[in-house]
Structure 1
Amino acid sequence: MTDRTPPGTVHGVGLGTGDPDLMTLRAHRLLTNARHVAFFRKAGRSGQARRIVDGLLPEGVTEFAMEYPVTTEIPLSDPRYNEILSAFYADCTTHLRQLAQAGEDIVVLCEGDPFFYGSFMHLYTRLKDHVPVQVVPAITGMSAAWTATGQPITWGDDVLTVLMGTLPEDELATRMAITDALVVMKIGRNIDKIRGALKTAGKYDAAWLVEFASMPNQTVQKLAEAEGKVTPYFSIVIVHGQGRRP
């Protein structure tokens, strides 16, 4: 980059829940004018974020697929997990930073909202002090999930708690018991643990399971009616609040 070439901007663009119709106008504008697009995916997969924008990217756009070196192969508690992912995010950051320093704008595709449990956050913290970074917020998957149930998630003074299914069962149960409304994410192989915690907290019969919220293959059912079912990655458990109302 020369003194006369201003740095480009890295845009972390939230794509929302998976339905392109729920994307923001700003996200759409950045996508349809992008020269460089980056996105996360599992090795050998096309990537959910990339699938969401099919047909929206301009001809000739340069794509940078950031393939996770690990997903569930190593337990989260294993020190190697953070070491491997940290090196991965550092490598991705180097590539994006070099593009931006050369004056190029880059759109990083983010499922849901970039600042809500998203991988983009790990790039953001490494980039923000070196090149311009802008974040485009979006609808989260949990919003689409509770909307799919046809019931409000909170009323009046209800407290909403968002939990990760990766937490220990006793901690899940404790937090579930003291909240009014509940969202549980990262279901997958944690489903049996989540069921047990909900039963301990006395909320099992009120829980809903929403899979692929806002996507063509969306399903909505009471969790108790999905016994024995292995839930996919895109699934969320919902318990509605029943608080104060006029």
Structure 2
Amino acid sequence: FMYIHDRLAGRYETQVVPGVCSVLGASAVLGAPLVYRNQTLSILSGVMDAEELKHRLADTGAAAIMKLGKNLDKVRAVLGDLGLMDRALYVERATMSNQRIVPLAEVDGDDCPYFSIILVPGQKWNGA
């Protein structure tokens, strides 16, 4: 949205209305927290190159990876290399009637909308 806003705001009267961002909407439909206690959450773009994505994922407790589309196979490979596939969840059309939430391992990379999200929740807190 902001790409369009930035291009048109100088020519037309515009207003940005706050709403629920896609990462929080996707997290809400999971019914579980993304992070526990003092864990960190990184929101990353699937468009970034594999090495940068790997570096950033290795340095965070939990992640949301946006802008998948053609980048899904690359992102999946990085998550696999880091041993994160067991925690990775694919969320498509979050909060809509046709939303889809599945383990990333079950997703076919040929039919992935650009605005889908992968959530990698932090390790569950054991209460100790």
Give yes or no for contact 1:183–1:238 (8 Å, CA) kept in 2: yes
CA positional deviation for 1:234: 3.3
How many residues end up aligned between the 2 structures?
127
- Tell me: CA distance 1:241–1:122, structure 2 relative to 1, closer, same or farther (3 Å): same
Is residue 70 of structure 2 the alignment partner of residue 189 of structure 1?
yes
Aligned match of 1:237: 118
Aligned match of 1:142: 23
SS at match of 1:220: strand
Aligned match of 2:41: 160
SS at match of 2:16: strand
Mapped to 2, the partners of 1:147 and 1:229 lie a distance apart of 26
Q: Which amino acid aligns with 1:192?
A: D
Give yes or no for contact 1:204–1:223 (8 Å, CA) kept in 2: yes
CA positional deviation for 1:131: 9.0
Is residue 52 of structure 2 the alignment partner of residue 171 of structure 1?
yes
CA RMSD of aligned residues (A): 2.5
TM-score for both structures, normalised by structure 1: 0.46
Give yes or no for contact 1:158–1:181 (8 Å, CA) kept in 2: yes
CA positional deviation for 1:132: 7.7
SS at match of 1:237: strand
Give yes or no for contact 1:157–1:244 (8 Å, CA) kept in 2: no
Query: Identity over the aligned pairs, expressed in percent?
Result: 35
Between 1 and 2, higher relative CO (CA 8 Å, sep ≥ 6) is seen in: 2
Aligned match of 1:3: none
- Tell me: CA distance 1:212–1:133, structure 2 relative to 1, closer, same or farther (3 Å): closer
Give yes or no for contact 2:72–2:109 (8 Å, CA) kept in 1: no
Structure 1 gaps of 5+ residues are 1-109, 111-117
Mapped to 2, the partners of 1:166 and 1:133 lie a distance apart of 28
Aligned match of 1:206: 87
Structure 2 gaps of 5+ residues are none
Is residue 119 of structure 2 the alignment partner of residue 119 of structure 1?
no
Please identify the structure whose Cα radius of gyration is greater: 1
Give yes or no for contact 1:156–1:243 (8 Å, CA) kept in 2: no
CA positional deviation for 1:177: 0.9
Mapped to 2, the partners of 1:192 and 1:131 lie a distance apart of 39
Give yes or no for contact 1:191–1:230 (8 Å, CA) kept in 2: no
SS at match of 1:192: helix
Give yes or no for contact 1:153–1:240 (8 Å, CA) kept in 2: yes
